[in-house]
Amino acid sequence: MLMLVCLWGLAVPTALAQNTPPDFAQWLEQLRAEARAAGISQSTLDKALAGIEAPQKGVLDSDRAQPEKVQSLADYVAARVTPERIAEGRQVLLRYPTWLGRVERKYGVQRRFIVALWGIESGYGRHTGKIPVVPALVTLAFDTRRSDYFRKELLDALRILDAGRIALPQMQGSWAGAMGHFQFMPSSYRQFAVDGDGDGRIDLWNSIPDALASAANYLAQAGWQDDQTWGRPVRLPKQFDRSLAGLKTRLTLARWQSLGVRTSSGHALPRRNLQASLIIPEDAGEPAYLVYDNFRVLLRWNRANSFAVAVGSLADSYTKGK
Which pLDDT tens digit goes with each residue over 81-100?
A: 999 999 999 999 999 999 99
User: Residue 285 falls within a domain, yes or no?
Assistant: yes
Q: Does residue 71 fall inside a structural domain? A: no
| Range in 20-29, 51-60, 144-153, 242-251 with the lowest mean pLDDT | 20-29
Question: Over the stretch 236-262, which tens digit does the pLDDT of each residue have?
Answer: 999 999 999 999 999 999 999 999 999
Count up the domains in the chain and report the number. 1
Quick check: is 280 in a domain?
yes
Tell me if 245 is assigned to some domain. yes
The answer as to whether 265 is a domain residue is yes
> Is residue 113 domain-resident?
no
Cα separation, 34 vs 17, in Å, equals: 25
pLDDT over 70 for what percent of the chain?
Answer: 92
Provide the mean pLDDT of the chain: 91
Per-residue model confidence as pLDDT tens digits over 123-168: 999 999 999 999 999 999 999 889 999 999 999 999 999 999 999 9
Q: Please check whether residue 241 lies inside any domain of the structure.
A: yes
**The dihedral of CA 259, 265, 269, 275: what is its sign?**
negative
Judged against a pLDDT cut of 80, whether residue 18 lies above it is answered with no
In a domain, 96, yes or no: no
Domain of 242, in residue numbers: 231-291
Is the pLDDT at 277 greater than 70? The verdict is: yes
Closest CA to 187 of 160, 153, 212: 153
Per-position DSSP letters for 176-228, written without gaps between them: T--BTTTTB-HHHHHHH---SS-SSS--TTT-HHHHHHHHHHHHHHTT--TTS
